Amino acid sequence: MEKNSLKFIISLYKKHSILFVFALIGSVLEAGALSGFVYILKNVIDDIFVEKNYNKLILIISILISLAIFKQIGFFLKNYLYPVIILKIIRELREKIYKNILEAEISYLNRLSIGEIVSRATNDIERFSIMLSSLGTNVITETLTIIGIIGLLIYTDWKLFLIFVIVIPFLALVLNHFGEKRKKYAKLVQESLAEFTSHLSQILNGLETVKLFKKEVFQRIFNKLNQKLFQREVKSRLYETVYLSSVEIIAYIGVVGIISYGGYRVIKGEITAGQFFSFLGGVLVLVNSMQILQRGLVNLKGITPIIERLQTLLNIPKEKGGTKPFKSLKKEITYQNAYVKIGDREILNNINLKIRKGEKVAIIGLSGSGKTTLIKLLPRLIKDYDGKILIDETELTKFEISSLRERFGVLSQE
CATH classification of the domain holding 353? 3.40.50.300
Residue 98's H or E segment, with its range, is: helix 54-103
Based on the fold, state whether residues 347 and 251 are members of the same structural domain: no
Based on the fold, state whether residues 342 and 300 are members of the same structural domain: no
Query: For the packed helices 303-314 and 273-301, what is the interaxial angle rounded to 10 degrees?
Result: 40
Q: What are 351-399's pLDDT values in tens digits?
A: 888 888 888 888 888 887 788 888 888 888 887 788 888 888 888 888 8
Residue 155 lies in a domain: yes
Q: Are 83 and 133 in contact (CB under 8 A)?
A: yes
Rounded to an integer, the average pLDDT of 345-351 is: 84
- The 10 Å CB-count burial string (b at 16+, else e) for 37-66 is bbbbbbbbbbbbeeeeeeeeeeebeeeeee
Based on the fold, state whether residues 339 and 310 are members of the same structural domain: no
Based on the fold, state whether residues 298 and 355 are members of the same structural domain: no
Q: Are 387 and 335 in contact (CB under 8 A)?
A: yes
Give me the domain span that covers residue 388.
332-405
Side chain identity at 377, as an amino acid letter?
A: L
Q: What are 74-111's pLDDT values in tens digits?
A: 999 999 999 999 999 999 999 998 988 888 877 777 77
Burial of 365 (0-12, 13-18, 19+ CB in 10 A): exposed
pLDDT above 90: residue 65: yes
Based on the fold, state whether residues 82 and 187 are members of the same structural domain: yes
Residue 410 lies in a domain: no
What's the first-to-final CA gap in the chain, in angstroms?
45
Rounded to an integer, the average pLDDT of 215-238 is: 81
Greatest mean pLDDT among 61-75, 89-103, 186-200, 233-247:
61-75
- For residue 179, name the pLDDT band (cuts at 50, 70, 90): low
pTM attached to this predicted model: 0.70
Final residue belonging to a domain, choices 314, 345, 364: 314
Rounded to an integer, the average pLDDT of 309-333 is: 83
Based on the fold, state whether residues 239 and 95 are members of the same structural domain: yes
Residue 37 lies in a domain: yes
Based on the fold, state whether residues 306 and 387 are members of the same structural domain: no
Residue 270 lies in a domain: yes
- The 10 Å CB-count burial string (b at 16+, else e) for 175-194 is beebbebbbbbbbbbbbbbb
Residue 226 lies in a domain: yes
Of the listed ranges 24-33, 193-202, 256-265, 274-283, the least confidently predicted one is 193-202
Rounded to an integer, the average pLDDT of 225-241 is: 83
Based on the fold, state whether residues 88 and 230 are members of the same structural domain: yes
Based on the fold, state whether residues 309 and 361 are members of the same structural domain: no
Number of domains composing the chain: 2
Based on the fold, state whether residues 105 and 151 are members of the same structural domain: yes
* pLDDT value at residue 70: 95
In terms of phi and psi (left: phi > 0; alpha: psi -120 to 50; beta: otherwise), the region of 269 is left
Based on the fold, state whether residues 60 and 162 are members of the same structural domain: yes
**Number of residues in the chain:** 414
Final residue belonging to a domain, choices 280, 314, 348: 314
Based on the fold, state whether residues 349 and 224 are members of the same structural domain: no
